[in-house]
């Protein structure tokens, strides 16, 4: 069994912007217990499958290949701050995409449909494209951090999305480690396997 998810990667420039933003927040609130996300792990999760076997992974690979054949490159801008589940009870801080950019939800819908056709469980909850940047270990002490995060006008460089990546997540004591299983370019039935 492998712990698997599909994701949209972000550009190096956007990653650097996010890294600076995270570091700035972190430096203002060094006393809080916060699980700050490592910049290299930032991504937009399209579908999290959890532990699946080789047959399910094959079905997922076929679903992703079918979805990218129906998709084209699109541009996104990370230009939003938010918190889950809400501002008052925030446990996760995130950076997101402007609502007007509907390409990612459309892609998610196509992928879900292709997965469902191949017997994989369909996610019914609303999709919110976001990059998790922090997990609050002491939510009751973090109101000031949440307030600052939500009041910031974060904007990254615009970049082009051209592929869906299937990742394996391996849990270790130091946290999870992501490795690429396969990468699928839009409108190209090409899968690049990167062996780690």
Residue 25, pLDDT score: 97
Q: What is the pLDDT along the chain (196 residues), one digit of tens a residue?
A: 999 999 999 999 999 999 999 999 999 999 999 999 999 999 999 999 999 999 999 999 999 999 999 999 999 999 999 999 999 999 999 999 976 667 999 999 999 999 999 999 988 788 989 999 999 999 999 999 999 999 999 999 899 999 999 999 999 888 889 999 999 999 754 444 443 3
Return the pLDDT at 100: 63
Residue 154 has a pLDDT of: 95
Q: Report the alpha-carbon distance of residue 133 to residue 37 in Å, rounded.
A: 5
> What CATH number labels 2-192?
3.90.1140.10
Q: Which of 153, 129, 156 is nearest to 18 (CA)?
A: 156
| Residue entry with tokens 């973090």 | 142
Long-range contacts of 112-121 (CB under 8 A, 24+ apart): 112/47, 114/62, 114/63, 114/64, 114/66, 114/67, 115/47, 115/59, 115/60, 115/63, 117/63, 118/59, 118/60, 118/62, 118/63, 119/56, 119/59, 120/49, 120/56, 120/59, 120/60, 120/63, 121/49
Name the residue ranges covered by the structural domains of the chain. Answer: 2-192
Q: What is the pLDDT of residue 111?
A: 96
Q: Are 74 and 161 in contact (CB under 8 A)?
A: yes
Query: What pLDDT does residue 123 have?
Result: 85
The per-residue pLDDT for 196 is 37
The pLDDT assigned to 99 comes to 65
pLDDT at 187: 77
């Amino acid at each position: 069994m492998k712990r698997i998810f599909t994701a949209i990667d972000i550009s190096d420039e956007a990653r650097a912007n996010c890294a600076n933003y995270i570091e700035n927040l972190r430096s203002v609130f060094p006393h809080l217990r916060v699980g700050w996300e490592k910049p290299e792990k930032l991504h937009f999760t399209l579908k999290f499958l959890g532990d699946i076997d080789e047959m399910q992974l094959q079905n997922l690979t076929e679903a992703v290949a079918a979805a990218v054949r129906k998709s084209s490159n699109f541009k996104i801008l990370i230009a939003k701050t938010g918190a889950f589940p809400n501002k008052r009870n925030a446990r996760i801080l995130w950076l997101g995409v402007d609502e007007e950019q509907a390409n990612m939800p459309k892609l998610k819908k196509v992928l879900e449909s292709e997965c469902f056709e191949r017997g994989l469980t369909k996610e019914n909850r609303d999709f919110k494209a976001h990059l998790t940047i922090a997990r609050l270990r002491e939510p009751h002490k973090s109101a000031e951090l949440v307030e600052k995060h939500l009041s910031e006008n974060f904007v990254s460089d615009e970049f082009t999305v051209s592929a869906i990546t299937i990742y394996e997540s391996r849990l270790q004591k130091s946290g999870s480690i992501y490795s690429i299983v396969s990468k699928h370019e839009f409108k190209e039935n090409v899968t690049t396997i990167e062996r780690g």
